[in-house]
A and B are shown apart, each in its own frame.
Chain A
Amino acid sequence: MISVIETRSVIVEYPSIRGVLRLYDQGVSLKVDQGDFLAVLGGSGWGKSTLVNVVLGLERPIRGSVSFRDHDVTRESFVKRCGLVKTAAVFQRPTALPQMTVSQNLHLALSLAGVPRKERDERIKEALAFFGLDKIERSYPDGLSAGQRRRIDLARALAVKPELLVIDEPTGDLDGSATNLLIPLLRGLNRNQGTTIFMTTALPRQASQAKHQVHLRPPTYLAPENRMIGD
């Protein structure tokens, strides 16, 4: 079976005050097959968000490679990757456009994803209702709580009906009831619509809901002579 995502021996390094910070010392190698639901589990500062960025093409590893459907995309942008696998991403920090209303944000995302105009209204209505955003659809993101803005991102990503959903710490900023709804929703998406899910989390209980898990290790600090940056 061709993997939707495959990373081979990915290592990322950052310069830091304590020396060179190396994430994934032994390299991260993982495979996400079509219809898979993978959870990447790790503590704070262990490189979960960085791995999301590497998978999406927003950051480049120092070593290793990333493939989408057997195409090496290590040097390719997020847009190019989306051309190979229709991908939606939800980041840790809310990303809704501040000058557009909740509903307009969803419209923009769907039009960028090439969803036909007549389908957009229906999909947006469904997504807003599901995440309890229908009453604030004409509000601007800046006036909303962090949890509400998080839900806008989730609604936007799911309304696109992606083949691959990349989601960084999905329940951050969400209250208890929304958290309880979200993981079953992701499982339902994965099971019923075959959406491939790549999720990061710091919570072992959440990770256990996925089909597979990958555990990250804590980062290491290297002496300058061992660094790979600039090789």
Chain B
Amino acid sequence: MEIYGYQRKPLHSDAVSTLPLYRSAPLLEVRLEDFERFAIDRLRVLKGISDGLSRGKKPEEIENLAIDLWKANMRHPDASEVVNKDIIAHFVLRLVYCRTEDLRKWFLSMETALFRYRLRHESAEAQRALMAEFDLPYKAVSTSEFESMKDKLGQVARSIGQPLTPADTKFYTVPFEEVPELVAGRRVFLHKGHAYVAMNQVVSLVATQFRSHLSKALILTNRKWTSSIREQEKDRLTPIVEALCTSYLGPDYSEPREFAEISIRDIDQIAMSSFPLCMRHLFEKLREDHHLKHGGRMQLGLFLKGVGLKLDDALAFWKAEFSQKVGAERFDKEYAYSIRHNYGREGKRTDYTPFSCQKIISSAPGVGDHHGCPYRHFSEENLRAALGKMRVNSRAIEDVMDKVRNRHYQLACTLTFEAVHGTSCDAGINHPNQYFSESQKVVQLKVDPVVV
């Protein structure tokens, strides 16, 4: 069969690298079961990367993980078919993940991450070929310029733990706008708007290009999908495509589930019994300071929405606290809007979903902030004190700290859950609202034991 909507020439073959750029879809015949199987294989890789990121693993660890996952999942008995499998799987997932903003965002970052890791494993020769392919605005730094900058360049290189070897004299200058990630990490020397990029860093350059190409392509694919493919393929591909993404995303807790509706009266007690540490901390700080900065308001506010706090109750709840600090009038003027906004009653009227662990772990709380993941963002002492307050016994605290040291923040949270509730939690914690509902299940069970 032919995958619908794909045209133009076949890819690969004469390229130096085995890393395709997925510029255009291949004109290939694909069996229906391969269509789905290849996609699932690739999804396993992307999902693995996503989990690694949300556990806060180091870049090198994720890189190794990604390469291992790739080798394990994307094999093909016929060696000549490996590249085709890669390409087909990618384009199937494009269809799957082009359909909403959230899906696109996830796919984009995971595919870019994967591309980056694979690119780093390519030879310098292949990397250069890819740079040429993307027509990047790089300019080689002349020897004399390099000599005059050598000290600064060496300083940056050492500060990121990649000291220059005598052979490492190849640098490129690019406008700093082209390498935002290198700039953000202070991983390049900047002078008058130019970034001095080492050869081994061009990966970042190429990955940025890849990302922007893919981003545009996803929008186009989405248009094509909604305008024709979905309808034409409604008996064949559409069901597969639609099933593929839901099977992996898990619930997003945008709608309060089983324990819908909590009231303000119970909220303190519920917070004590069933909030994960990140939310407990915010909650306590709010009660203490009668104020939270924006990041904290978002994280706690959306969580409470997911927990089942109705808009009116939410307004009353926040007002009761904030008015003690800023006065009721200022609350109505400055803060009430954003709470209604969270509930989709203002602005573009999106009903925002509560933050997942991944999002919370990767947030970067600043001075005066209380949001974020305590396991990641607290110092060891503060975390110990906080766990002690939750009455986690000292043995369990050591286990938790051990996970924290290895950057398994979600596992640390899971252990805390188990210690607090005295039951095991096999699923692991990956969403504060999941923590809450699991906890409520346990609590309810204790209150009125199920009569079997």
Interaction A to B: no
Query: CB within 8 Å of A: which residues of B?
Result: none
Query: CB within 8 Å of B: which residues of A?
Result: none
